[in-house]
Amino acid sequence: MAISSIDCAAALNRWRGRPLAEKTLITAGFLILALALPPWPGAALVGAVMLAVTFGGARVPPRHWLSVAVLPLGFLATGALTLLVQLGPDGFALAPGGAAAAAGLALRSFAAVICLLFLSFTTPAADLLSGLRRLGVPSEIVEIALLTYRFVFLLGDEAVAMTHAQRARLGHSTRRRWLRSTAMVIANLLPRAMDRARRMETGLAARGWQGEMRVIDDRPAASGAVLALILVAQAAVAALGVLL
Amino acid sequence: MHIMEGYLPASQSLAWYAASAPFVVAGAVRIRKIVRERPEARMTLAASGAFAFVLSALKIPSVTGSCSHPTGTGLGAVIFGPSVMAVLGLIVLLFQALLLAHGGLTTLGANTFSMAIVGPWVAWGIWRLGRGAGLSMALTVFLAAALGDLATYLFTSFQLALAYPDPVSGVAGAMIKFGGIFAFTQIPLAIAEGLLTVVVIDALSGRVRDADKIGVLAGEAR
Amino acid sequence: MTPILSAEDVHFSFPGEVAALRGLDLEVAAGRSLAILGPNGAGKSTLLLHLNGTLRPGAGHIRLDGETADYSRKGLNRWRQRVALVLQDADDQLFAATVFEDVSFGPLNLGLGEAETRARVEEALAALGIADLHDRATHMLSGGQKKRAAIAGALAMHPDVLLLDEPTAGLDAEGAAQLVATLRGLAAKGVTLVFTTHDVELAWTLADDVALFRGGRAVAASGAGTILTDRALLEGVGLRPPLLLDLALHARDRGLIAEGAPLPRTPDDLKRAMAGWRSGG
């Protein structure tokens, strides 16, 4: 599982079995609120609610969650920094109101990241893709996306193994060697990816594949009551975010 | 360069989705046609998408000594052509958001526009120009990959500047700020990726059988 | 009796490579288990791909129920419904997100309805002992679990013949032992098995008949007991008799196993026989 620890967590968490529609409605609704409401108190409220849902409801391991959340926060820090200064004819100066703008942006983005991570940590990407099919995305595109998902893990393992083998033979000892070694991994990986594609074709043809990839989707359907409950909660957060 | 989740205001998130849509739809129509004629192209395209994803997870050393990640934009555009790349790019960006927390769902439209549309079209255009002008293969590949990355980076800076214009100097000033702060990572990345892509294409064309396959692949994708 | 599958003077080469099959003759008897035994590069896997119509002979014929194979789209579909193939690398055939979805693929391709498909999937998962993996993500399975899921995907199509390429390759000892037990169970239910291997022990444990391959041809084909005891023949293709069989023959020579009694096929068989030696004196 070198390529994605999130995927593992998504497959094992407590809410894995909950209907897809519930989890996507929670994510989409609160994402929209995070963007649409004023950062304070709206986005802050969204962030707080979603943290409670993530850790209290789905029981996502906090340590793992933090290690993933650090990455977007790096981008946020750099990006928010630029709001603190303004560029005039005399060069850079501190922007009046810059701190407030940066804080607002940080609050909004962070709330949105919390929503995204909730979805990532509770819902395997394959479940989401099968949901896209129901939303009317052409089945060919969904199938390609699903196969991509399958191949990501296979190729990822191969790339990791090749990189380890190179490192064992000092392939990364200088920057020049490193660049060349990485290029060799990439150059080896592409034909391997194509071979995999061909072999998968043989494997599927043996099972009577005639160009359509149908499987039975065994995921539970959402209940209207739960979805209504989620909408009510979101309306409440929206009202609080505007009125407070 | 991925714009993180929630970074763009709602109106602009929507606007970039709308701007990407025609390219993605055109790519999807093209892919459906390819797949209807050759069902097995599903596997080839999926393997290519996965390949691009795995590339983005490999670390490469860049000139300043920091580490960065190749984007595969130039390589993909040269091999598959830009229209298919819009869809493959969107799929890869979706997985990067979900599996790695790179980028986001609200910013998926904006990221698709800069990385799966602007980058590949620039790389592909330079590739065609360079080959037409009789430049050497290596130089053309380098320029296509490096300038494709640079175009992506500049366009992302523009997207950020549009969202957060400077209070005094407006969008232009903000673009200098955003462009300047990300230049430290993005310019070395563009150079490293250019070099990397040259070595990759070189290694690929060194093998007759594989090169055949790439040719077939490129043919079926375009 | 007409063999269910047969190859007649089949020649085949991959483009730009030396010939993989050169005048191969082979018969697969219905209801029996056949091991295709031989060193690497003998053409074993290439043969399997011919037996379900994935590859087409350059010269010669493949026959199904004595009739020349039909390579039309319809013919291939009927063929692959009866003759299922399990590839060596299970990752080459597991494509769906969960085990249940993946196993449902074959039955749906047969045009079965959802209820019938569900029943077939559950039945196949139970037969392979992986009912508990129902909702597991395919990329998170162990090697042995992936192999079982791949076989379940083939079994759910209710084939008459199951082709397996190196079924135990890459499995740990426990995974291999479980799989062999499962395959023996399938054979006992009347499924015709054809599997490739270079492992003489596996051939002895699982096969009724053995075809010995070398250089793209079957150099000998007969009952397992005949081929696997022929030391000179085996050494000719770089193999040796199975250890278990060697010991059993030794015991028979010394009068511990009666002439004409079945020879032990598994270590457990031998242990049971040995228990008799002690009590019998």
Local confidence pLDDT in tens for the 244 residues of chain A: 346 788 888 887 888 888 999 999 999 999 999 999 998 888 999 999 999 999 998 999 999 999 888 888 877 877 787 888 888 777 788 888 788 888 888 899 999 999 999 999 998 888 888 888 888 899 889 989 988 988 898 888 888 888 888 877 877 777 778 778 888 888 888 888 888 888 888 888 888 887 777 888 777 888 889 999 999 999 998 888 888 7
DSSP C140-195: GS-HHHHHHHHHHHHHTT--SEEEEESTTTT--HHHHHHHHHHHHHHHHTT-EEEE
Token pair belonging to A215: 């499987």
pTM of the model: 0.85
Element (H, E) at C29: none
Using the Cβ of B208 and the Cβ atoms of chain A, whether some distance falls under 8 Å is answered with: no
| Rounded-to-integer distance, Cα C106 and Cα A210, Å | 11
Is residue B52 a part of any domain in this protein? yes
Could you tell me if residue A212 is inside a domain?
A: no
Q: Kindly state whether residues A22 and A112 are assigned to the same domain.
A: yes
Whether A218 is in a domain gets the answer no
User: Pick from C95, C114, C136: which is nearest to A150 by CB?
Assistant: C95
Residues 6+ apart with CB under 8 A from B99: A3, A4, A6, A7, A120, A125, A152
DSSP helix/strand/coil, C30: coil
- Residue A108 and residue A229 share a domain: yes
Tell whether B130 is covered by a domain. yes
A124 and A178 in a single domain? The answer is no
Alpha helix segments (H runs only) across chain C: 44-51, 73-82, 99-109, 114-127, 143-155, 173-188, 200-206, 224-227, 231-236, 243-253, 267-280
The answer to whether residue A201 is domain-embedded is: yes
Chain A interface disruption, residue of C83, C93, C139, most A CBs within 10 A: C139
For residue B67, pLDDT over 60 is answered with no
In a domain, B57, yes or no: yes
Residue to substitute from A107, A116, A118, interface B, most B β-carbons within 10 A: A116
Per the model's pLDDT, the better-predicted residue between C160 and A165 turns out to be: C160
Q: Is residue A213 part of a domain?
A: no
Name the phi and psi angles at B65, rounded to 5: 100, -15
Q: What is the CA radius of gyration of chain A?
A: 23
Higher pLDDT, B195 or A112: A112
Check whether residue A161 and residue A142 sit in a common domain.
yes
Would A99 be classed as within a structural domain? yes
> Nearest residue of C to residue A12 by CA position?
C136
Chain A residues touching B5 at Cβ < 8 A: 31, 72, 109, 112-113, 115-116
Nearest chain B residue to A156 by CA: give it: B54
- A183 and A108 belong to one structural domain: no
The alpha carbon of residue A169 is apart from the nearest alpha carbon of chain B, in Å, by 17
On whether both A48 and A117 belong to a single domain, the answer is yes
Cis check for the bond before A41: say yes or no (omega within 30 of 0). Answer: yes
The CA distance from B44 to the nearest CA of chain A, in Å, is 6
Bridge partners (DSSP) of residue C195 are C35, C164
Instruction: Kindly tell me if the per-residue pLDDT of B214 is higher than 50.
Output: no
Which is more confident, B19 or C256? B19
Strand pairing of A91-94 and A85-88?
A: antiparallel
Residues A25 and A125 in one domain: yes
> Based on the domain organization, do A122 and A56 belong to the same domain?
yes
Q: Is the pLDDT of residue C129 over 70?
A: yes
Mean pLDDT, rounded, of chain B: 83
The total number of structural domains that make up chain A = 2
Q: Scanning every residue of chain B, which has its alpha carbon at the shortest distance from the alpha carbon of A10? A: B99
Supply the pLDDT for residue A35.
Answer: 92
- For residue B221, pLDDT over 60 is answered with no
A104, A52: one domain:
yes
Between A158-167, C139-148, C241-250, the lowest mean confidence (pLDDT) is in: A158-167
Token pair in block for residue A14: 């407590």
CATH of the domain at B170: 1.10.1760.20
Q: Determine contact: B35 vs chain A, CB below 8 A.
A: yes
Which of B4, B40, B200 is nearest residue A113 as measured by Cβ atoms? Answer: B4
Same domain for A58 and A80, yes or no, is: yes
Answer with the residue of higher pLDDT: A243 or C136: C136
For residue B4, being part of any structural domain is answered with: no
Instruction: Determine the average pLDDT of the residues in B8-35.
Output: 94
- Smallest Cβ–Cβ distance between A87 and the set B61, B101, B169 belongs to B169
- Please name the chains neighbouring A, where neighbouring means 3+ C-beta pairs under 8 angstroms: B, C
Domain membership flag for residue B192: yes
3 state SS of C77: helix
- pLDDT band with cut points at 50, 70 and 90 for residue C279: low
Note whether residue B158 is domain-resident.
yes
Q: Dihedral angle at the C-alpha atoms of C236, C242, C248, C253, nearest 10 degrees?
A: 20
- Is C148:C124 a contact under the CB 8 Å cutoff? no
Radius of gyration of chain B from Cα atoms?
17
Measured between CA atoms, the residue of chain A closest to residue C90 is A203
Contacts of C133 in chain A (CB under 8 A): none
> What is the residue range of B182's domain?
10-217
What angle do helix axes B137-163 and B10-37 make, rounded to 10 degrees? 140
Contacts of A146 in chain C (CB under 8 A): 95-97
A35 and A92, same domain (yes or no):
yes
The answer to whether the CB atoms of A208 and C102 lie below 8 A apart is no
Domain enclosing residue A169, as ranges: 137-206
Domain membership flag for residue A217: no
Nearest to A87 among B13, B177, B217 (CB): B177
**Amino acid C227: pLDDT:** 93
Q: How far is C86 from chain A (nearest CA, A)?
A: 7
Chain B: closest CA distance from residue A36 (Å): 6
Number of domains present in the structure of chain B: 1
Residue C59 has pLDDT above 60, yes or no: yes
- Look at strands C192-197 and C209-214 and give their pairing: unpaired
- Inform me whether the pLDDT recorded for C272 exceeds 50: yes
